């Protein structure tokens, strides 16, 4: 590829052995660039002819001529087949030949087949755009566009027309094409046709509400067919009600934070003909009071035993840290623990209260306890040697029985 190829100039009176090159400074040089889709860019800035080469002890110097050229080569190694999709571009600007000649060439040269030391076995192939008449062809802002045509260019385009039925509005249709080409297997390609909806929904702004507080808004839309439509809402964290074109959404119980809400307007007779808009709903949290739970709200125990009070199942919907406070008779081992023990309770009915707080709200729950007396068993003493001793024993046994009866009567009352 030769965007500007200048070399020796041979005339009847002289031979000029100049070469086209660039200096190395902020205003001159060669720049390289590329893109992810295969394009390469080479740019020459302030290129000039250089001659009168002089070398001494490995140091060489040249004289710069008074001409100057800016030009670019842009090319893509991948063959493109579409209309006006070129593979090579030459672009020119700031063209100044000065006092130098207009010799040189612009074009493309290559070959096909084998190559030897002396060149290709066949002839060179090429395209000449200019040859020793560069000044007649190249001007400022001049661009050469070249489209590669080679044996691998077998791609072609087929245009097919199809009628889309009204029932397809809002759908993505699959188009399966099969190309039967002699000499190769059939080529199958799946394409998709997106059919736009007849409905256009006006965008909704983001909204803010508080926990478990409903918010209402109107949905505005345009239907080109003026069909009867319905409105629905898609969201993981809200419930909704629709009254005409007004939608009311209510955050789910105890939900707070951000949730995406999608409002859909669809044709009742053709649900696929639908359009939607999405907005973010911010639900500001409110403090939820703790939920108090005890293992048993009514307990029984025997006098002298140890009672266990357990409110560890209590929880807070906001995951706040909870504090506990037990109140009641007897000796409470740890009044500020979720689980504690109580001793020293007398016979009778007792009431305990646990207060659970999240630092903002406090909730209470009671526990009733029934303490029963401990039964005492008395063993009688039997003496067989004297009748008087026997009478005393019977009297002692009778008195013990009476005492036991009295104790049981007191328990039942």
pLDDT in tens, 92-117: 999 999 998 888 999 998 888 888 88
- Strand pairing category for 274-284 and 207-210: parallel
Q: For residue 137, what is the enclosing H or E element?
A: helix 134-137
pLDDT at 295: 92
Question: Which residue has tokens 């001409």?
Answer: 67
Judged by phi (left if over 0) then psi (alpha if -120 to 50, else beta), residue 168 lies in: alpha
pTM higher than the cut 0.85: no
At residue 411, φ and ψ (nearest 5 deg) are -65, -40
Domains defined for the chain, CATH in brackets: 2-146 (no CATH), 199-284 (2.60.40.1080), 298-372 (2.60.40.10), 376-413 (no CATH)
pLDDT at 294: 94
With vertex at residue 248, the alpha carbon angle to CA 245 and CA 251, rounded to the nearest 5 degrees, is 155
Closest CA to 324 of 310, 345, 303: 310
Q: What is d(CA 347, CA 342) in angstroms, rounded to the nearest whole number? A: 14
- Low-confidence stretches of the chain (pLDDT < 50) are 387-413
Q: For residue 404, what is the enclosing H or E element?
A: helix 387-412
pLDDT in tens, 154-190: 666 677 788 888 888 888 888 888 888 787 888 898 8
Closest CA to 149 of 73, 79, 74, 76: 79
Closest CA to 251 of 205, 203, 286: 286
Strand partners, 232: 264
Q: What is d(CA 246, CA 248) in angstroms, rounded to the nearest whole number? A: 7
pLDDT at 72: 96
pLDDT at 384: 58
Is residue 122 helix, strand or coil? coil
Closest CA to 215 of 238, 234, 195, 182: 238
Tokens of residue 158, six digits: 């087929």
Strand boundaries in 132-228, DSSP class E:
143-146, 172-179, 187-194, 199-201, 207-210, 215-218, 221-223
């Amino acid at each position: 590829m030769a965007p500007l190829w200048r070399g020796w100039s041979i005339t009847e009176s002289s031979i000029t052995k100049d070469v086209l090159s660039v200096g190395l400074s902020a205003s001159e040089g060669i720049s390289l660039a590329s893109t992810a889709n295969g394009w390469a860019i080479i740019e020459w800035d302030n290129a000039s002819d250089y001659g009168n080469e002089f070398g001494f002890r490995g140091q060489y110097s040249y004289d710069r001529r008074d001409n100057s050229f800016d030009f670019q080569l842009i090319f893509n190694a991948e063959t493109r087949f579409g209309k006006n999709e070129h593979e090579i571009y030459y672009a020119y600007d700031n063209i100044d030949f000065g006092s130098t000649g207009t010799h040189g060439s612009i074009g493309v040269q290559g070959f096909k087949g084998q190559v030897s030391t002396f060149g290709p076995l066949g002839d060179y192939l090429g395209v000449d755009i200019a040859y020793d008449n560069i000044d007649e062809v190249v001007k400022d802002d001049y661009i050469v566009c070249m489209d590669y045509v080679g044996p691998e260019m077998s791609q072609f385009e087929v245009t097919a027309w199809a009628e889309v039925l009204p029932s397809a509005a809002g759908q993505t249709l699959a188009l399966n094409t099969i190309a039967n080409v002699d000499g190769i297997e059939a080529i199958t390609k799946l394409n998709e046709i997106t059919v736009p909806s007849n409905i256009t929904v006006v965008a909704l702004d983001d909204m803010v509400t508080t926990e478990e507080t409903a918010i209402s808004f109107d949905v505005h839309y345009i239907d080109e067919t003026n069909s009867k439509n319905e409105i629905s809402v898609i969201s993981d964290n809200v419930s909704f009600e629709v009254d005409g074109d007004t939608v009311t959404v209510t955050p789910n119980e105890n939900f707070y934070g951000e949730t995406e809400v999608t409002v859909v307007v669809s044709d009742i007779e053709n649900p696929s003909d639908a359009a939607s808009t999405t907005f973010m709903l911010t639900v500001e949290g409110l403090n939820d009071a703790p939920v108090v739970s005890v293992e048993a709200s009514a307990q029984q125990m025997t006098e002298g035993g140890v009672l266990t009070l357990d409110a560890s199942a209590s929880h807070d919907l906001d995951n706040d840290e909870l504090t506990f406070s037990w109140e009641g008779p007897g000796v409470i081992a740890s009044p500020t623990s979720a689980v504690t023990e109580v001793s020293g309770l007398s016979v009778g009915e007792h009431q305990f209260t646990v207060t659970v707080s999240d630092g903002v709200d406090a909730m209470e729950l009671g526990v009733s306890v029934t303490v029963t007396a401990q039964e005492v068993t008395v063993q009688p003493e039997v003496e067989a040697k004297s009748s008087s001793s026997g009478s005393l024993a019977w009297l002692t046994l009778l008195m013990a029985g009476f005492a036991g009866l009295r104790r049981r009567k007191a328990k039942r009352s």
